[in-house]
Structure 1
Amino acid sequence: MCERPIIVMACHRSGTTLLRRILHSHSAIACPPESFFLHHFMDFLSRPQSREGLGSIVGPEAVDATIRAAAFQYHEAFRIAQGKARWADKTPAYIRRWPELVALAPPETQWVVILRDPFDVAASVYERGWFIEHYGDRPEAEADLFENTVCYLEDYFGKLADFIGTGRAYVLRYEQLASDPEPVLRHLFQHLGEPWEPAVMTPWASQHNFGIEDPIARGTRGFVPSIGNWRVFSAAQMAVLTERMGALRQALGYDAP
């Protein structure tokens, strides 16, 4: 098995699809579309009865390794089919369970965070009309999209900040990647221990599996910065965003708008 995979952690609408395509464009890295299914293996890893049942078959000392091998067998098969040495994964929903994912992943995993201004993430989610997670007791059809979006920011960015705080992740910023990609990517691949390849500068020219990722991102060619979109919000909405997310936003390195 690949002992040094790469796992990207981020919130949605943060440039994760672009980063996935960049990683997959490298000759050593195979990065499929979002996997989603690792949630089930996280559950398996943490349930005492399941662990005991598996341990009765493989031995208690082999439980963790057996679950890990089962969890990542599809990533392994994908990288082998691609003829590459390493696999990567980017599934933003996993940030909600990052401690369990850390426990599941191989010990030598390299973690990469792509960070985008939370207010711009809010604008992107809100303009798409997405309920990425449903917060509150009201049915989604009756829920307020803006309030739900703010709850999403509090939840996901709070957990992402906690993950960054562990010091295990290499952090890059969407704004810098989109505006001046080459130095950002050279530093990233140096950190990953992979040689520089010009192909990572034109990821849209490589062949990719798209899965269910955003069709707009799928069709984008070139590095197109999308910055300052939070201006779509009204003054009242900005007041709410600033009250509930302003401190965390600044802690993540973004100045007050």
Structure 2
Amino acid sequence: MDNDRPIFVVGCPRSGTTMLQLMLHAHPRIAIPPETRFLLEGYRERRRFGDLTNPGNRRRLAEWIVRRKQSRFDDLSLDPETVISEIVDGPPTLGSAVGAVFRAYARRFDKPRWGDKRPAYIAHLDVILRLFPTAQIINITRDGRDCVSSLKEMSWHKRGVPAAAAAWARAVDRAAEAARSLPAATYHQLRYEDLVSDPETSLRAICEFLDEPYDPAMTEPAKVAKIAVPKHKTWHQRTHQAVSTARVQSWRSRLTPTELGLCETTLRRRLAVNGYPPAEPDASSRPKTGDLLRYRIEVARHDLGRLRRAARHTVDRWTGAAPVEDQRTTTFRR
């Protein structure tokens, strides 16, 4: 039986997740779509759809996934009615409904394996593995100073440099937890810098992890960018170019002295652990007191959200909540 384990690409925003998505999508057996917004949102809202053994409730869930603008279903170029019918006719779980969308995307390219990419998943791996217990996770880590440099330039990032630094800290902390707790056959980690400097070596290691043959087409992600990156996502324009090391350590020219000081003060230990030597900031690099406070507030906000999710999971276990697992994945059940 063919391997049909779902593949999830995760990491801090602006760490190379889209480039890695395209590299995987270039593989002849794997399809990874543009980012969507219905997996985590559907999990949070799952109770609103009621008992999914009722076909009418499955239809309500399917319509919510397909018709809701925020889901970004339109970016997948799939026929809405076909997907709705597959969800209604499929198994009565949230994971099965979500998986139906991604399987339809893989069929669009005549590929047997599907995956998904969204940086935010790094903080929700417990949800991913509840929905898809056979999933394989690939985390990509990039120098936090480069991630912060890039995030601060994004039109959709509204919370400033302290929040960007906190997002990177959260991502590498969750990645470290996953590396400790998940089996080697479930979790794989790589660095952006290694991937762009020697794509073939990193991609061969990924293919070995996925139990798939390596394909040289994976080193040329720009060739599939027009297909798998929506035109409106202008911040991904570099994915249409050849893989290069041009943006490695670009933080040296993109961060102000005080921004660098904030990163070095708050992220120094994490940078070192992940193989990124600290800079030696001068006296002008002292971070602003207000930025340090905002960083700590962001960290506290993340921690509070995690505690709330853990509490909800505990309630689910106590109350015997309905199963959410995808019932169509057949191989490597744990």
Note the residue ranges of structure 2 that are not aligned, 5 or more in a row: 56-90, 280-334
- Asked if residue 217 in structure 1 is aligned to residue 238 in structure 2, the reply is yes
Distance 2:110 2:270 in 1: 42
Map 1:87-98 → 2, pairs under 5 A: 87-98=114-125
Mapping for residues 54-203 of structure 1, pairs under 5 Å: 54=51, 57=54, 66-105=93-132, 107-128=133-154, 130-131=156-157, 134=159, 145-167=160-182, 168-203=186-221
**What percent of counterpart residues are identical?**
28
SS in 2 for 1:72: helix
- C-alpha distance in 2 between matches for 1:65 and 1:169: 28
Normalised by the length of structure 1, the TM-score is 0.81
Contact 2:10–2:122 under 8 Å retained in 1: yes
The 1:230/1:129 distance shift into structure 2, 3 A limit, reads farther
Whose Rg is larger? Answer: 2
Cα drift, residue 176 of structure 1: 0.7
What amino acid is aligned across from residue 188 of structure 1 in structure 2?
Answer: I
In the alignment, the residues of structure 2 paired with residue 169 and residue 180 of structure 1 have an alpha-carbon distance, to the nearest angstrom, of 21
Amino acid at match of 1:162: E
Note if contact 1:11-1:160 (Cα within 8 Å) is conserved in structure 2.
no
How far 1:248 moved relative to its partner? 1.9
Q: How many residues align?
A: 237
State the 1:251 CA deviation: 2.4
Gaps of at least 5 residues in structure 1 are: 59-63, 135-144
SS at match of 2:188: strand
Question: TM-score when scaled to structure 2?
Answer: 0.64
CA deviations 1:85-124 (Å, max 9, x no partner) are 100111112223222222112x221111111111110111
Q: Which moved more, 1:227-236 or 1:4-13?
A: 227-236
8 A Cα contact 2:141 2:172, kept in partner: no
Q: Which amino acid aligns with 1:178?
A: V
Q: Is the 8 A contact 2:223 2:240 kept in 1?
A: no
Residue 44 of structure 1 and its aligned partner are, at CA, apart by: 4.4
Give distance in 1, aligned partners of 2:10 and 2:205: 18
